[in-house]
A = this chain, B = another copy of it.
Amino acid sequence: MVYLQLKRKRMAKKIKPESDISTEEKIKEAARIVFMKKGFSATRTRDIAEEAGINLALLNYYFRSKEKLFELVMMEKFQAFFGVIFPILNDANSTLEQKVELIADRYITLLTETPDLPIFILSEIRTNADRMIENVRLDKILGESQFVKQLHARRPDMHPVQLIMSILGLVVFPFIMRPILVQSKSTDDKMFNAMMNERKAWIPKWFNSILNAR
């Protein structure tokens, strides 16, 4: 009975979208915040309820279980993380250099807004690969991409994955290091963001050097 209401509610949305922020959305937003910060296992449903300012039971009323709610958030974040890069990789009209510029720019912009995104996704994949979206056929997506073809044309002597790891390392790794840097007072938020902004310009240059290195 209860869970039928989910469907009903969802259908109702099309007709009459909730005026202001709905309970459902409050919970989802709280889940985003808490799950991202603590990961699945360290998060208690009560944390989410408190963050959302709602009664604990409403979490199960709207989302059935902690697991289901997590899957929802993970799906979203996964989409955000990979959604940025896939379209760029497949663009047939841009050069290799342009793709790298775009990746650096878009990713750094995204991650400056949500710096916890990489650690969240990467550590959840490690902790519980089963709970993860199984069929990211990264091999297919990458293998058939324009980007890989262009990389291979430029450097047939190197495995494209080598170069992809390098560019992602340059772009993403700083955000993974960030907690250490900030905690150890090596940087503060403002300085870190400024550096990341600088990297938007540096990384394409660096990657170009890497492409030409012998």
- A interface residue numbers (CB < 8 A to B): 37-42, 116, 119, 122-123, 125-129, 132, 136-139, 142, 159, 161-162, 165-166, 168-174, 176-177, 179-181, 183-187, 195, 198-199, 202, 205-206, 208-210, 212-214
Given A137-B184, A162-B195, A213-B206, A119-B122 contact (CB < 8 Å): yes
A181 contact from B138, B169, B212, Cβ within 8 A: B138
Q: What are 28 residue pairs bridging A and B, where the CB atoms are less than 8 Å apart in the complex? A: A37-B126, A39-B39, A39-B41, A40-B42, A41-B42, A42-B127, A119-B122, A119-B123, A122-B177, A123-B126, A136-B184, A137-B185, A138-B184, A138-B186, A139-B186, A159-B195, A161-B181, A161-B187, A161-B195, A162-B199, A162-B202, A165-B177, A165-B195, A173-B176, A176-B176, A205-B214, A206-B209, A210-B210
